[in-house]
Amino acid sequence: MDIFNIYLPIAGIEFNVLLLLLIGTTVGVCGGFFGIGGAWIVTPALNIFGFPMPYAIGTDLAHMGGKSIVSTIRHSKFGNVDVALAVSMIIGTTVGMELGAKLVMYLERIGLAESVIRKAYVVFLFLIGSYVLYDYITHVVKKRRKAPTGAPTADYGENIAQKLHRINIPPMINFKTSGIRCSMWLPVLVGLVTGIVASVLGVGGGFIRMPALIYLVGCPTLVAVGTDLFEVMITGAYGAFTYGVKGRVDLIAAMWMLIGAAIGAQLGTVAVKYVRGYSIRLLFAVTIFIACASVLLKQLELQTPSSVMILTAGIVISLVIIGLLINGIRREKASARAAQKSLSGTGGK
């Protein structure tokens, strides 16, 4: 397989082109489906296979910005992008990205970048995955309690987003696509925090911002996916710029991954229209836990199990998403044929 190896001058290593294409396609499918940049695969995978962590972060951000353009355009056609909400987050996001990049450069100077960032990855991924899984289980339990009698579900009180919407700090804005009204400062602060996390962990912020849009801002799941991708596009571009200035972006690697991602993103984005919101949340939680486990294995110096887990999981989840897409298309075609037969039968009478 050495014939497929290329030299990456900025990172200073040799890397397999087929591996870059596989990583790109996998995160394209998952990113388009979940509304995230896919760095829970790319940054750890690049690091696991030889990229120093700061170079893995910068290269992933460059690839992420380009890939998210494709996914965002697709989601906007389905009406899943709240542009006003995304734009209101940009100021907080860009400030957070710069603060996070400065922190990473400091950690690199004192020799702690690899260890600290991987540990932070494990903690954040575990906490977020746990909360999303808890939310899914709670939803299923409520649904089962309601099913036998058909009675309305018990009133569990206001959720976090509804409480935050009542904080009246001007300017108050109506976000029509999301169907919510809140202070502009809410999405700005969400953007600031996720921007810092994005820059430090080398992600578009999607793995924390998508849940934040749902649970803190109050977006419907599908709108959260599309809006987050819009924000990932901005985050990735700005993150690539700030890391590029610091010499931590390998554009050759990013371009090869982007070729695969452009194809995968089309599939993942279309699959969203065939899957219910809470099913997306369950798959998201499973994906986060797998990413968390792979980084933990790397931290424990179990290189081979970590490498196998991250790539195998990414491929399997991508295949699951593609399977959902195929089944959805089949159901849609079957429904269309049934409707056509019904119309033909009515017309014949």
Amino acid at 12: G
Contact 62, 236 (CB under 8 A): yes
Q: What is the C-alpha to C-alpha distance for residues 9 and 7, in angstroms, rounded to an integer?
A: 6
Mean pLDDT within 321-339: 87
User: In the prediction, which pLDDT does 154 show?
Assistant: 46
Per residue in 274-309, pLDDT (tens digit) is 876 677 778 878 877 887 787 778 777 776 787 778
- For 13, the 3-state DSSP assignment is strand
The band of 161, judged by pLDDT with boundaries at 50, 70 and 90, is confident
Give the pTM: 0.64
From residue 132, how far is each of 86, 301, 326 by CA, in Å? 22, 28, 26
Q: What is the C-alpha to C-alpha distance for residues 308 and 297, in angstroms, rounded to an integer?
A: 11
Backbone φ/ψ region at 164: left (φ over 0), alpha (ψ -120 to 50), beta: alpha
